[in-house]
């Protein structure tokens, strides 16, 4: 599947009725875009790439539920694609920011050391910090064979 098809799928999904739209929110389903992520690998003896540039998007269909997809240059210097779901049931609003936390599950491909670059499923804890137009996702990605990764993904709200 090409990146353009992934983006078109997400934009089409934005027109699915959501609780926000039903409640009269004129903005409808929030759509965020990102430019990949920055990562810190706890296993420092490997020469992993930590600037994982790409393009991605997420759509929040309800305060607790989001879909995400995109592509990035992974830590093994190979292009990866992902499609996932976030469940963030815990919310609070310090200093006017929306903070939510929960878990995400994603299908990811492109890693030579995992499933020979094929698709695999992974689950990980996530924290989202969102203002009106800017936000960030903080992810802790477990990996038993290559070591865990802490990643930060900056995002911009476009819808």
pLDDT in tens, 81-93: 999 999 999 999 9
What average pLDDT does the segment 14-27 reach?
45
Evaluate whether residue 120 is within a structural domain.
yes
Question: Could you tell me the two tokens for 6?
Answer: 């992934």
- Residue-range definition of the domain harbouring residue 119: 3-12+28-93+115-154
What average pLDDT does the segment 41-67 reach?
96
What average pLDDT does the segment 47-59 reach?
97
At residue 115, φ and ψ (nearest 5 deg) are: 60, 30
For the cut 50, the answer to whether the pLDDT of residue 128 exceeds it is yes
Higher pLDDT, 130 or 1: 130
For the cut 90, the answer to whether the pLDDT of residue 14 exceeds it is no
Higher pLDDT, 143 or 127: 127
Higher pLDDT, 118 or 9: 118
Q: 80 by DSSP, 3-state: which?
A: strand
- Please report the pLDDT score of residue 33 as a whole number: 98
Evaluate whether residue 76 is within a structural domain.
yes
Evaluate whether residue 44 is within a structural domain.
yes
Evaluate whether residue 110 is within a structural domain.
no
Higher pLDDT, 119 or 144: 119
Percent of the chain past pLDDT 70, that is, above it, reads 83
Question: Could you tell me the two tokens for 116?
Answer: 């020979």
- Contact assessment for residue 80 and residue 74, using Cβ atoms and an 8 Å cutoff: yes
What average pLDDT does the segment 45-66 reach?
96
Query: How many domains is the chain built from?
Result: 1
As a whole number, the mean pLDDT across the chain is: 88
Q: How confident is the model at residue 145 (pLDDT cuts 50, 70, 90)?
A: confident
For the cut 50, the answer to whether the pLDDT of residue 21 exceeds it is no
Evaluate whether residue 132 is within a structural domain.
yes
Evaluate whether residue 102 is within a structural domain.
no
Evaluate whether residue 119 is within a structural domain.
yes
Q: What CA–CA distances, in Å, run from 18 to 28, 64, 145, 157? A: 7, 12, 40, 17
Evaluate whether residue 68 is within a structural domain.
yes
């Amino acid at each position: 599947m090409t990146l353009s098809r992934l983006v078109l799928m997400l934009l089409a999904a934005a027109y699915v009725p959501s609780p926000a739209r039903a409640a009269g929110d004129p903005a409808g389903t929030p759509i965020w875009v990102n430019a990949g992520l920055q990562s810190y690998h706890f296993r420092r003896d490997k020469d992993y790439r930590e600037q994982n540039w790409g393009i991605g998007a997420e759509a929040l269909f309800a305060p607790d539920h989001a879909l995400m997809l995109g592509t990035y240059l992974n830590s093994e210097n190979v292009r990866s694609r992902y499609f996932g779901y976030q469940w963030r049931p815990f919310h609070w609003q310090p200093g006017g920011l929306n903070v939510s936390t929960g878990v995400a599950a994603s299908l990811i491909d492109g890693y030579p050391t995992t499933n020979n670059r094929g698709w695999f499923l992974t689950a990980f804890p996530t924290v989202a910090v969102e203002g009106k137009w800017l936000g960030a996702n903080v992810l802790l990605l477990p990996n038993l064979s290559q070591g865990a990764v802490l990643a930060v993904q900056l995002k911009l709200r476009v819808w």
